[in-house]
Structure 1
Amino acid sequence: MNTVSSSTTVRGYGADRQWLAKLDLKLVPTGAKTYLKQLAFIGPLRIQRPFYPEGGVCHLYVLHPPGGLVSGDRLNINVHGAADSQTLLTTPSAGKVYGRDSDGVVQGQSVHVTLADNAECEWLPQETIVYSDANAVLDTTIELESGARFIGWDLVCLGRPASDARFAKGTLSQRIRLLRDGRLLFNEHLQLIADSSLHHSRVGLHNQSVFGTLVAYGTDFNPELIMTLRAELACPAFTVTLRMGVLLVRYLGEDMNECRAGMWRAWALIRLPLLGRPACTPRIWLT
């Protein structure tokens, strides 16, 4: 008969546990439309077929069938827009980062967008929910050549505040970078430990559970647009700033519905002066 010592520690799948998934997309304009010319994937990352609800702009839905990240899961999404391409990418639902295993193995997602001259890209995923005791890494890098235009966001909910399930344990590393012609214009790195001074402080998250950052770049934004954004997003949870040509809309509060609605409104206001097109809401957002 086999026996197990009471001192034996029950562990997860090991500190070297990994489940990697990768998605590489290349968008190229042909005639009046942008087409997905190259697609490569490893693991559970896919896209739905391209949509063209507004003519030539290629709308893509990025799919992660498991629906959430456990310890060892690493998603890598690479998007390359050739010169003059026009692309909008979103996700069909919120992403989830679950609690880590007994080894505390990192789990997360890396997004890398590169745009050639005069290319346009909108990276508009739905929010990421970071569960308590997660060990999450969220990394977004945007590299633009001269003349390229970008608008995108990263929306995060710590825990599930509506269910009173707070982010009481765990860590989150979030980084957003934007470069033009190799020059770093925006670099923000959050290193958050649950229940830390940064989590509670007024100069940190001030005990709030929901935060989001919209980043837009590629034109000389009119001061009137900044005034309009501030008037439309008059809630104290929102701020609007413009520095070194990078337009930022931020949210810090407790309500993801409020955050999402405000970011949708900001995107609609920014899209016309930046890309020359009115907002075309992806159908998946309304289902």
Structure 2
Amino acid sequence: MPLRATVPTPSKGWQACLTLGFQRQGSRTILGSCLHRGPLQVQRPFYPEGEAVCHVAILHPPGGVVGGDELRFNAALDANSHALITTPAAGKFYRSAGPMAYQTQRLTVAAGAVLEWLPQENIVYAGAKIHAITRVELQGDARFIGWEILCLGRPAAGEIFTTGEYRQNFELWRDGEPLYLEHSRYNGGDPVLAARWGLQNQPVSATLLCAGSPPDGVNIIRAGWEELMALLPATGAGELATVTQLDGVLIGRYLGPSAVRARRLFTLAWEVLRPAILNRPACPSRFWNT
């Protein structure tokens, strides 16, 4: 199934593509293939918790995305491999002179494999035009923990998202069946940004997804439910957070004024979920402290 129905007209922006392949060799997960074109790369793999889990960080040397850029990232995990993928810094989407920018991420996880998709937040400047698509495809008993954090405007600089357009697709599938589909569209200055049923004038919204191995994954998720709910009082004034479950997928949501707070809350949730779902203690990425 294509990630979008139409293909944009080629532009003068950066056209970048990064494709990673992870394989299991004995007790070790290796980055068996790494193909890149344009300014989208990956640092060497890290093994801070032993050979079984391969940590990598996606690099975008230009430091930001402008109108007309198109970034494509593909990752495929072979059977029984385990990868943790993150970014060394927040993604930045700058004001566009007209063209739309595209960021497409397709993550395929084979049976027995585990993917942790934990990028830092995306900051969308006023006037930016971006369509961001993330599609996670699980096969068989593959497991997944991941999040996406969005900041509209730059609250620290007093910038409000009054102009521009941000479209977001965040999809989780298993064996060709949809588990979770989130399609959002925010236009600068749109009433939904301020409405009580919308973003309530909060610049940051975030989603965390966790899928264990069916059918036991549902029970494991429930086992950590009370621990996750106990984290919610950690939210501050003006913040909202919730945890729900749908068809064997745990869904965490955050709405508030701070991307740093959102990431901190989701990291706490990940520290609870990782031992329950993956039977591994939390091992925070070294990049989160830089």
Q: TM-score, normalised by structure 1?
A: 0.92
More deviation, 70-79/223-232: 223-232
Task: Specify the alignment match of 2:4 in structure 1.
Answer: none
Please say if 1:54 is aligned against 2:54: no
Root-mean-square deviation (CA), in Å? 1.3
| Matched residue SS, 1:185 | strand
2:102 match: 108
Q: Is the CA contact 2:128–2:166 (under 8 Å) kept in the aligned structure 1?
A: yes
Percent identity, aligned pairs only, is 43
Match of 1:283 in 2: 286
Which residue does 2:140 correspond to in 1? 146
Question: Residue in 2 aligned with 1:172?
Answer: 166
1:264 is aligned to 2:267 = yes
Partner residue of 1:274?
277
For residues 269 and 64 of structure 2, the distance between their equivalents in structure 1, rounded to whole angstroms, comes to: 28
Partner of 1:44: 39
1:158 corresponds in structure 2 to 152
Asked if 1:253 corresponds to 2:256, the answer is yes
Report the alpha carbon displacement of residue 20 of structure 1 after superposing the two structures with TM: 1.0
- Which residue in the other structure is 1:88 paired with? 84
1:263-286: CA deviations, max 9, x gaps?
110111111111110100111111
Deviations 1:8-54 (A, max 9, x none): xxxxxx98434210000000000111001111111001111100111
> Residue 237 of structure 1: which of 237, 240, 249 is its match?
240
Asked if structure 1 preserves the Cα contact closer than 8 Å seen for 2:221 and 2:277, the reply is no
Question: What is the correspondence of 1:127-138 to structure 2 with a 5 Å cutoff?
Answer: 127-138=121-132
Q: Does the 8 A contact of 1:97 with 1:108 survive in 2? A: no
The CA deviation string for residues 87-137 of structure 1, in whole angstroms up to 9 with x for no partner, is: 001111011000001xx1011311110011011011111111000000011
Distance 1:212 1:268 in 2: 17
What displacement does 1:185 show? 1.1
Contact persistence 1:139–1:174 (CA under 8 A): yes
Any idea what the Cα deviations from partners look like across 1:246-267, whole Å, max 9, x if unmatched?
Answer: 1111110111221111011011
Q: Distance in 2 between matches of 1:72 and 1:194?
A: 19
| SS of equivalent to 1:233 | helix
Q: Which amino acid aligns with 2:111?
A: D
Which consecutive residues of structure 2, in runs of 5 or more, have no partner in the other structure?
1-8
Aligned to 1:206: 200
Q: Read off the aligned partner of 1:32 and give its amino acid letter.
A: S
Structure 2 CA distance, aligned partners of 1:283 and 1:70? 28
Please, which of 17, 20, 29 is the counterpart of residue 12 of structure 2?
17
**Retained in 2: the 8 A contact 1:68–1:95?**
yes
Aligned partner of 1:228 in structure 2 is: 227
The runs of at least 4 aligned residues of structure 1 exceeding 4 Å deviation read: none
Q: 2-side partners of 1:25 and 1:15: how far apart?
A: 24
SS at match of 2:140: coil
Amino acid at match of 2:86: T
d(CA) in 2 for partners of 1:23, 1:133: 27
1:265 counterpart letter in structure 2: L
Q: Is the 8 Å Cα contact of residues 13 and 66 (structure 2) preserved in structure 1?
A: no
Q: How many residues align?
A: 272
User: Cα distance 1:280–1:43, how it changes in 2: closer, same or farther (>3 A)?
Assistant: same
In our comparison, the structure showing a higher alpha carbon Rg is: 1
Residues of 2 paired with 1:162 and 1:259: CA distance? Answer: 15
- Compare 14-23 and 83-92 and name the one that shifted more: 14-23
